[in-house]
Amino acid sequence: MNWYGIRAIYKFEMARTWRTLMQSIASPVLSTSLYFIVFGAAIGSRMGDIDGVSYGAFIIPGLIMLSLLSESISNASFGIFFPKFSGTIYEVLSAPVSAFEVVAGYVGAAATKSLILGLLILVTARFFVDYEILHPFWMLGFLVLTALTFSMFGFIIGIWADDFQKLQIIPLMVITPLTFLGGAFYSINMLPEFWQKLTLFNPVVYLISGFRWAFFGMADVNVGISLGMTLLFLLLCMLAIWWIFRTGYRIKT
């Protein structure tokens, strides 16, 4: 195992994070704070509790997931896309690092960054609403699992994208709508029956539901199913990456 190689990639990616602190940490924290002000404090104060949880607290898990998904994807996709774009990928390809080590470095750094961000948002939320975390270990577990899974998904997008537009299109056109419609701001029980059924095809529902269960002990779907779906998606991403390196898709001619 080339530990120095993993560390080099990881450090390189983290250095990029600190270099772009405003963009990578400050701006998502700020935008999430705005959500808390608008939905938590302003609108939330006029809304009833949902299953005994105040609306301001209810949206915390969803908002964290919203940032976690989009930031994991954009960090990891940019991290691998940019060397392809600038040509510096030659060095990684010619280095004695295996596919696993490359992924560990890039995805590990992207997931770390998302994790820091998620925790920062959690702390920020405290300034706006009161909340307690019922299952802190599960909460952390879902956080790590989601950060890892979606950083991998971002890595795949970064490999697939051959221009900047493609880099943006999946997060913008697919992930954002799925998150908004995945119960970030509402319980899916509040939907008409038909939409309740349809919404179960949205994988983000399971992530948010499981995460919210870790906070408040209430869930739209069984937490076991939530965990299973998250693990399934992780497995799919791993398979896709395995295939990418086996065939050299979009990285080797």
Interface residues toward another protein, by CB under 8 A: 2, 4-5, 7-9, 11-12, 15-16, 19, 86-88, 90-98, 248, 252-253
Cβ proximity to another protein: between 5 and 182 the closer is: 5
Residues 9/105, Cβ–Cβ less than 8 Å = yes
Give the CA count within 13 Å in the CB-facing half-sphere of 47. 20
Cβ proximity to another protein: between 14 and 129 the closer is: 14
Q: How far apart are CB 103 and another protein at their closest, in Å?
A: 14
Q: How far apart are CB 241 and another protein at their closest, in Å?
A: 18
Q: How far apart are CB 89 and another protein at their closest, in Å?
A: 8
Q: How far apart are CB 105 and another protein at their closest, in Å?
A: 9
Helix (H, G, I), strand (E, B) or coil at 181: coil
CA dist list (Å): 206 to 194, 201, 203, 214:
18, 10, 6, 12
Cβ proximity to another protein: between 5 and 40 the closer is: 5
Residues 129/54, Cβ–Cβ less than 8 Å = yes
Q: How far apart are CB 170 and another protein at their closest, in Å?
A: 25
Amino acid at 44: G
Cβ proximity to another protein: between 15 and 232 the closer is: 15
Cβ proximity to another protein: between 46 and 94 the closer is: 94
Instruction: Report the alpha-carbon distance of residue 73 to residue 209 in Å, rounded.
Output: 20
Cβ burial, residue 24 (10 Å; 0-12/13-18/19+)? buried
Cβ proximity to another protein: between 15 and 174 the closer is: 15
Chain position carrying tokens 């539901």:
209
Give the CA count within 13 Å in the CB-facing half-sphere of 222. 3
Q: How far apart are CB 115 and another protein at their closest, in Å?
A: 23
